[in-house]
Structure 1
Amino acid sequence: MDNKFPTKTTRVLTTTPSFHQIRRWIRGDSHNLTDARKRWQEALKSAKSAAQFSLCLDFLDENICWDRSAMKAMCQICRRGDNDSQLLLCDGCDLGYHTYCFKPEMSSIPDTDWFCPECVSQATRRPCCLLCCRQTSRPMITCCECDRRFHCDCASHYKKLEPNQKNWLCQGCESLSKDKESNNNRNKRLRKISQKDSADVNNRENKSRKTKMKCRRRSNVELNSKNDSLHFTEICRILIADLDTHKDGWPFKSAVDPKTCPLYSKIIKKPMDLSLIQEKLTTNKYTNAHDFVADIKLMFNNCKIFNEDDSAIGKSGRSLKKFFAKRWRELNEISSVDFL
């Protein structure tokens, strides 16, 4: 019996095809997304059983880039993820733009396909202003961070431009830079508090060790257990310090600000960052290495889920994860105890 889906005229499924058969039939001989979508709709209408319906849903889920949708829902001008109802998506790249961020403000959503200034610029090979979406001979300025082009008079609506200005930041990049600076200042305060708390903990541990040294009945098992705990604590402290000072550690120093990225809490249910791990370490919340490593892995997994692989934060996450794995092995070779 033919295992393929029926033609458009019959649209009756007499057997339950496999997931791969559905995928081959929907995609057909063409990689055209419109054709594939129409075939998927036909397959869904033809489904006569729960199994066939489930296979269609599995195919849909496989082809949705869930981890990329969060970044695409952010306005490319102001770099904010709020006011979804006023976010216009480009029909070429699916990136979003607030209608009120354009200059002049876009009064209504276009009825036809709309392409963003970036897609227009790539298609015509001529610079297009990100704010007014026009290609004119008026003087333009380039953001030194994102390399996007703006008319000087359009950009002056946000802040004053100096003649022949260099190292100019657009509104969105400047906002991200201020948020990063604010987070860094907060991290410095947290580090000072953590260092003070860590010193207090060390003093208490030293006093405790001196007291226990005077005890004549302490067993060898107790001694080994205490030494293992000290090794574990020191290794974790060294690792946190290394991750915090690493060149790719900046996105993980503190919690994501909900005002800067309101979508984060909707997607990431268990947030984790270096300042929170440092706090748990200082207050002796980690009783073994497994709990410590689990939080480190959670931090990197959250980064992978929310950020695109080729984004700056996505690249930093992969780099820092490799560094952590290498550093963990090095420190555990020094220690006499294997914690994993």
Structure 2
Amino acid sequence: MWSKSVLNAKCRICRRKGDAEKMLLCDSCDRGHHMYCLRPAIKIVPAGDWYCPDCKPKSARISPRKVVRTKSFSQDESSEEEEEDDEEDTEESAEEQDENDSISSIEEVPVKRNLTYKIPQKPQKKGQKPSSAKKSTSESRRERSTRRNDDTPEKSNNRRRATGVWKDLASCEEILSELIKHKDSWPFVEPVSKKAVPDYYDIIKKPMDLGTVHKKMKEVQYPTPTEFISEVDQIFLNCHEYNESRSVVAKAATSLQIFFDTKLGKASISHYRAPVHPTKKRRTT
């Protein structure tokens, strides 16, 4: 029982103990999950049995094709019974109808109206003006040429840049999700609490955390990857400015920063990083 208690359980997501009041145990696999580590986060302890995302029972869905097939089979059976009843009546009048249909098909010929035929044009002599069709083709060619002239190299480059930026932002979102799932991201997932660290906001003038970066990414507040990379770098700068280099938090920041740099290099977006000016380190007493 002690191995399955809330006090001894480790969170399956952040792999850490603690916060027993905010720890949930799955009623199926008995694994611990912090309420704030779940996505979406749970603020209130659920009543009754609770199952983790891996143990939730999946409801079976009935495909619409099966329903349509059952309806079609029932309709086919009813239609077959009606056809058997009407076969005897239709056999007698089949010959008469064939004769009448053949006569009506000969007499009533459908008239097609508004038909367009292409008449071959005669070769024009010298001195004659071109036809309207040739004028329209020449005008369309001129419009195409003007559109091509309007597409200057600057505009085409801007379009290419815009499409490239959206692809790079998508890779930034993937890197952010991997940063949050990293084992050393636990000090940087949420903002620093004023109650736990009263003098933090007196020293750090630009506080930032991965949760705030994730919120901005979902709200599309980053026009380019440059702003995203600068705010993630600000997290590491704040950590090294406030904490000592031998502390656990500073070591976690160093490990996470190396992981972040390698991911930027693999995604080929490290060129978006703006030059970082060194800040004064905190004096230790």
> TM-score per shorter chain, which class?
0.3 to 0.5
Q: Which has the larger radius of gyration?
A: 2
- Structure 2-normalised TM-score? 0.43
